[in-house]
Amino acid sequence: MRHYARAFPIAHAIVTAAAVAALRARDRTRTSPAGNTSEWRRAHRHPEAAKMTNPVRPDATSIAAGKSLYDKHCAGCHGDSGRGDGAMGAELNPKPPDLTDAEWKHGSSRGELFRVIRDGARGTGMKPFARKLTAHQIWDVITYVHSIGPAKPH
């Protein structure tokens, strides 16, 4: 293969690009065991993050601080009420999750949510906020998000 790549660099590049495109197309149309197409491959859990606990006391002060941060950084995509219906979220594929649901694609525990907010979620519009929010602020947002939806695991 190395000899071929050196002798025919353009042909090698075309064959490589075609193979990559075919694999990506296969992954976009592959179905999950439940029969759902597309985004299922991006769903995953973070077992180590799930073990994390929120060090911020979930009181009215934390919820208010979290709501303020949510309104500033999250509502554009996740919507004012957290249902994934924000104006910027309408253009995203996959769509932002409904944060009032009991289960989320990347885990529903507070620790998993912390990791997604801090690090972002590959293959989605969720960008990392580690440079914009302190750990304490992320926990405040989590406290607020958990106050608007059904009870989630700690």
Give the pLDDT confidence of 97-113 residue by residue, as tens digits.
888 887 777 666 888 88
pLDDT tens readout for residues 50-92: 778 888 888 999 999 999 999 999 999 999 999 999 999 989 9
- The pLDDT confidence band at residue 135, using thresholds 50, 70 and 90, is very high
Side chain identity, residue 93: N
The C-alpha atoms of residue 100 and residue 122 are separated, in whole angstroms, by 22
The whole-number average pLDDT for the span 8-16 is: 57
Domain limits, the chain = 2-30, 43-148
**6-10, 37-41, 137-141 — most confident range:** 137-141
Q: Are 89 and 119 a contacting pair, CB within 8 Å?
A: no
pLDDT tens readout for residues 15-51: 555 554 444 544 443 333 344 444 434 455 666 767 7
Q: How many other C-beta atoms are found inside a 10 Å radius of the C-beta of residue 52?
A: 17
Q: How many other C-beta atoms are found inside a 10 Å radius of the C-beta of residue 108?
A: 21
pLDDT at 102: 76
Of 22 and 133, more confident: 133
The C-alpha atoms of residue 61 and residue 32 are separated, in whole angstroms, by 42
Side chain identity, residue 152: K
CATH class of 43-148: mainly alpha
The C-alpha atoms of residue 5 and residue 8 are separated, in whole angstroms, by 5
